[in-house]
Each structure stands twice: as structure tokens, then as C-alpha cells.
Structure 1
């Protein structure tokens, strides 16, 4: 089984990766960690929440499919690749096989195309928990993927990995 895990590096990424790890373990699946960089994304964002959680290694990578050599790979692209590589190493420590894919373009179309390219059986997305008015005015990547996907789509709600605490026993 192969699962596409669409990573957007938001706060919901940790919940998404934790859920993908559980599902990947139970299904003995390979995870494809896909990030679609929108055409207008041109600033480097530091992601302290994600980086602290997955304990980044001090290694540097360049994307294997890149035509650029060495340090000439665009820094934003390389930075996203490093974060995905860190998550891949964390998954490997958990016994889960994973691959990395970074593409540029429309997020919905990019996710659908990567799912087809890697022949995945399911798409996992993280929910940002936006309100109905935001969804109405802006729309969402989740909604777009749900409409276009030819395979099952799982939406992981924000805060999904918090421990459930059982209520105290009644006497």
C-alpha cells in the first residue's frame, strides 16, 4: 500500500505526520511526503514547531531530480526538502518507508498529479480548521482534493494527536 501525505508545513503538519505514521504502521504502507509550492511562495519561513518536534539533523540535501548542482539549488526549495528529509528520517526510525516529492504549481492539482504519478492508494491531508465563512470566500485545498480525487481522501483534523484523557471513575 502507498499513501500520499500532503505536507504544507502548517501547524497541522505534526498531527498529519503522526496520523500517517499510525496508518502506515497498521497497513505496512510506504508514505509519499508531497509538498506543492504555490507559484507565489517566495519567502523562507522558519518552522520552529515542526523542526523541534522532529529533531532536525544537521545535514544538507539537494533534490535528486534537480538540474542544478550543489549549493545552487534555490534555498527555499532546498529548505523545504531538508524539512521533508528530517521527517523521512524520523519515519525511518519508526520503521516506515517513505519518499519525498516537491513540485511547484497549484496545490490541488499538484496533490492529485503526485498521487497519480506515485500510484498511491490514498491521500492524507491536514485540516486547518477554518470557519465556514473562510471556506465560502476562499475555499480550501481539502475541498478541491476531495472533488478531484479518484482515490480515498482522509482529512486529519487539527489537534488529532492530543492524548484523550478518560474522565475519572464515578463512585
Structure 2
């Protein structure tokens, strides 16, 4: 078995390349001595048209090995020529991904896969959601109907209201009404 550093990259990365950005760096040593302070910054430019709806700025992308060489070769490339490399470039693409990316512990190819935002997936029920559903369903029938049926509140109230049955002769007599007729 090969050591981890010698393993081949996963197939998902075939054809992709590094995202190379223009930056500046410096190393400052305090005049009174002490630890040197290393710092860097990534240069930004106006966003390209395909990224404007995400943010108004984007990193200054160096497109290809030749641009990287020219940016880093300050001995031969004049500063003004290097500055011409700092342009908005329409070379980045993006797509929506799963909410798995919201957790830093997730490090799988699924984090990179495009998702279709137009298709709604039914969420997988968790143990707690199943327990809550069972609890709601174990209540009285009115609660069960409210939870399970798509009826409106008005329809549910109408069904739950006491139903008036036709009053029979015995009922009238008990209520002190007219004496029931007999044949």
C-alpha cells in the first residue's frame, strides 16, 4: 500500500486545475527585534458578469501558467505589465450544492455534486420527527385529523360542530313541547 501522499487524486478532479489568484506578500521584522510578521493579501477586481449577482468583487484570477509566471517574475516583467493581468475574467463557473457543505466535518465528493433546486426532495424522517408524528397521531381523533388531512380549519370546525338531529315526538314531549299525537 502506498503512503497517503502518493495516492492518486479522486476521479472527480480530472480536468480541473488550481485556482490561481494574484496576491501580495511581505515579511516585516520589528525594529526592536522579535518574531518576523508574515502577511499576505489576495487582490480583488470588479466581479465578472456571471458573478455580479453573488458579489461585486472577485479575486484577480491568473489564468494559466504563463500569467502566473509573469505575475511572479518581478525581475523581468515590469510592474505596469504585471498590473495588466489584474482584470475581471469570466472563467469561473458555479452551481448549487447540497447543504452537506454547511458542516465542516463533511469531506466527500457529494459536497461537490450539483443539486437541482427545482426538484423538492422529501426530507428523510429523523428519529425525533418520527416520535413527534407518533405522539401527534396518538392523541384524540380531532388532532389526528388536523395533522393528517389537508382540510382547512373551517372545514374541520364544521365537521366537529354538534350535528342537530331531527327532533322526535318523545324529545318534544320531554322538552315540554306539544303533546305527541297518537292515532
TM-score (norm 2): 0.19
Q: Which is richer in strand?
A: 1
**Structure ID, larger Rg:** 2
Q: Which is richer in helix?
A: 1
Higher relative contact order (Cα pairs below 8 Å, separated by 6+ residues): 1
